[in-house]
Amino acid sequence: MTAPSERTLHLPRDLYWEMARHARDESPNEACGLIAGKDGRPVRVFRGTNVDPYPVVRYQIAPKDIIAFDRMLESNGWQWLGIYHSHSFSEAYPSPTDIANAVSSLSPGILYLILSLKGENEERRVATVRVGERTLATVSERRLVPPTIRAFTLDGGAVNEVPIILE
């Protein structure tokens, strides 16, 4: 169960679409990246490289990307606001692996944004062409829908959803 949050994330639409493009570019693998903030508001997303050996179901941001991100934060006077990643075939909710791997003990209150491509990765059969008992072709369609995005804090294993307002 997700506990309520007193915090709200005001997310600029251009940053949402940047994360959505990244998720689509990497699908079916999980995309991952970092979010820079100023005064608690996101100002930039930084694409990361998923170096996990099982990228379809997990993510691990390349250490070189984290170092480059930290340098960017320092040079711009920004803070580390969050981490984002995608789920290609499941809901935008932290998996047990996401919760277990959270770095919240190092950065309490860090946001975890999850984008789900589940809706657009589901195919619907439109028609099947048959001659007698033999199937010649199956026509299906995929919907191009905006990815669902949700934000959470994962402090001490507790999952707390943070409402998002797209601006």
82: tokens are: 């969050």
- pLDDT, position 33: 98
What's the gap between Cα 125 and its chain centre? 28
Secondary structure element (H or E) that encloses residue 29, with its range: none
- Picking from 26, 1, 11, the residue whose alpha carbon sits closest to that of residue 85 is 26
DSSP state letter for 84: E
> Is the domain 9-162 a CATH 3.40.50.300 member?
no
**Cα maximum dimension of the chain:** 69
Per-position pLDDT tens, the chain of length 167:
454 557 899 999 999 999 999 999 999 999 999 999 999 999 999 999 999 999 999 999 999 999 999 999 999 999 999 999 999 999 999 999 999 888 765 677 899 999 999 877 556 666 777 888 888 777 776 667 789 999 999 988 889 999 999 99
pTM tops 0.75, yes or no: yes
- Picking from 141, 83, 160, the residue whose alpha carbon sits closest to that of residue 115 is 83
Domain boundaries, the chain: 9-162
- For residue 87, the SS3 value is strand
- For residue 32, the SS3 value is strand
CB contact burial 38-56 (16+ within 10 A = b; e otherwise): eeeebebbbbbbbebeebe
